[in-house]
Chain A
Amino acid sequence: MHTIKARRLQPLVFLGVRFLFGKPLSDPKAPAHRGRHSPFWGAVLGISVSIVPLYIVLFVSNGMIQGITDRYLETKTSHLQLGLPFALSDQTRNKLRQDILRLKGVVSASFEVDGIGLAASPGGSASAQVRGLDRSVLADAGFKKFIRVDDGAIFPDKHNEAVLGRYLAKSLGVGVGDTVTLITLREAREGHILPKLSIFRVAGIVSSGYRELDANWFIVQSGTALRLLDPSTAYAFIGIKTADPYGSALNTLASKIKDLLVQPDFSDIPGFGLRTWRDIERGLFASFSSTKSVLILIMAIAIVVAAVNLGSALTTYVIEHRTEIAVLRACGVSSQQTASIFLLGGAATGALGCIAGSAVGIFISLYINQIIGGIQAAINFVARLLTPASHPITLLNPDYYLEHIPISINWQYSILIVGTGIIVSVLVSFFPANKSSHIAPAELIRHGQ
């Protein structure tokens, strides 16, 4: 009699894999598989299929939010805004800007005056967000990175020139060289508001790639804006960019800027005018993250459903194979060993499903732009075959989304998803494992009687 030491993993893995997944496919002598293993591969498929959308939603929405955030920050909001009194002298404003630029961590600082107006042309009229920019904005790498020039210039060279956002130009029906009228309201005398009409030549048409932003941009020189806009409704500020808008350095910088303001030169500038992008765009990002949370919750429920599916597949398997389990027990395989087979099997199924689903999910996420483009092309091709006169369709309407989805693969999320998937799979496997350990080998002697 040899000494018994059964607590080893290898035999369990051998038995478990073969018991749960069937004969090796590589064995040419093995008779053809019967259908009995399909529920098992079905559970693997179920888990992987439920994982795929989770990845796509997570990465695409992350990428989308990141892309939109970057566009807001780089083309519009800046990282920090320091609100200025409308009547501040050019000299003070420039000195302040130079002082800010000298601070450590500041990449660019540019003066801007924002207000609202009504743009009109023979082709139509639309509300306009008047952005009075300084030429110094062109030194801002972030601004230049995201702004695409559709036509003409990126910046109005003359005070009677304007650069329009793509969709504003579209709704006005104007192109470069055309003229547009801008109507702004300005207090003429105490208590008397009068509309002010100014005519601009369109010098350029630009886009940030996000419709929300360039639907109403009306970019003019800052000096022009100061003249046209009313101090009570317009907002003048210095937009400040840093190397890293997401880090804690932003707050440090904010307090340094506040320190600058104690200089007697800047006594007119209130410290409370300094705000970070998080304060300014708070509402926007709150809605982003709550939308994302709801989506993730739905996807998480899908994973739990798939895991419960796995649990029931394993339980059915135990019930269908109770005789074989009893045989193993009669051969001296302990109840812990048979239970471990189902736990290991559950973990393996979960892991296989999660890894397969992750691979597919990451792949689809990475190539989402090409995939959408491909589907779009295919639909349009078929549509043209059927009705040659049909208009081509656009799946991802750039009115609501970015035209190109920037994908950010977050490996921590992947590890979290795979880990959670495996843990949930093991948890649901406890029930069948426990069930298997209660099968009595004595039933073999009464088999078929």
Chain B
Amino acid sequence: MNDLIIECRALTKTFSSGAEVLHILERADFSLEKGKICTILGPSGSGKSTFLAILGSLERFDSGSVRVDGYELQTLPEKSLSVFRRSVVGFVFQFHFLLNDFSALENVALPGYMAGLPRKEAWKRAQELLDMVGLIHRSHHYPSQLSGGERQKVAIARALINEPSVVLADEPTGNLDAASSKELRLLLQRLPQVAKTTLVLVTHDSELARIGDTSFLLKEGHFECIR
């Protein structure tokens, strides 16, 4: 199977603050097959988060091409970005970013509902996803009533509501203790099968990095395949 879901060619990204120019990505190439788990490692400040943001269209880039599930991001107009975000990618951040005034179920259902799913369907799908992450009994609890690991699981369920082709996770276990990290790792490992998605995972956690089918090291603006 050689079905590339992500393909970056000569991707260049710089940040300039005043006279100083930071070269984050320099003509970097990257590609990933559908249904795989890819882990990205790299020293702090190397640009891992920036790369994920580019893949998810949260951040623009300077030159090169990025194709995600058929969308050419370099030519995607500003207006279509939200369409791309809600239909192609799902984000999981280091911090859960759940909305405090919404229950776990509502947090998961909301992006689906906002994307145009009928209310019933969005809520039903959210329930299935909470069941999948093992939190169906906590559906009506609010984020403040959940543990860190549970919140992160809800965030994963939320990322899946619109059936994204790619889930982008940026150090999802960064704030968790060892036990919760393990649970989350097991969950993330199952994602490609149960949610029929591709996972790009940025992590410093060597245990978590091991679940990747492939692994890249981001260093000095380039990706180096280490597995």
Contact = CB atoms under 8 A, between A and B. Distances in A.
Interface string A313-326: 00000000001100
Contacts of B83: 4, 332
Interface in A54-90: none
A368 interface: no
B30 interface: no
A447 B91 CA distance: 14
Interface stretch (B139-147, B179-187, B206-214, B215-223): B139-147
A359 interface: no
Contacts of B117: 2
B53 A4 contact: no
Contact of A19 (B58, B87, B99, B116): B99
Given A442-B53, A445-B49, A333 B86 contact: yes
A27 B117 CA distance: 24
Given A335-B82, A441-B58, A2 B111 contact: no
B93 A4 contact: no
Nearest to B57: A441
Counting contact residues on chain B (CB < 8 A from A), the size range is 35 or more
A323 B83 CA distance: 20
B95 A22 contact: no
Nearest to B202: A445
Contacts, number: 116
A18 B113 CA distance: 14
Contact of B113 (A14, A329, A441): A14
B198 interface: no
A5 B162 contact: no
Interface string B81-95: 011011110010111
B20 interface: no
B82 A447 contact: no
A6 to B, nearest CB: 5
Counting chain B CB atoms within 10 Å of each CB, the highest count among A11, A27, A323, A333 belongs to A11
A337 B114 contact: yes
A19 B85 CA distance: 21
A10 interface: yes
B110 interface: yes
Nearest to A23: B101
B97 A18 contact: no
A330 interface: yes
B50 interface: yes
Contacts of B103: 27, 29-30
B59 interface: yes
A6 B101 contact: no
A350 B39 CA distance: 50
7 contacts: A2-B87, A4-B87, A23-B102, A29-B103, A330-B58, A444-B95, A445-B52
Interface of A: 1-6, 8, 10-12, 14-15, 18-19, 22-23, 27, 29-31, 323-324, 327-335, 337, 440-442, 444-448
Given A4-B86, A6-B116, A23-B101, 15 more contacts: A2-B117, A2-B163, A10-B119, A15-B110, A22-B101, A29-B140, A327-B99, A329-B85, A331-B85, A331-B111, A333-B114, A444-B93, A444-B97, A445-B49, A445-B52
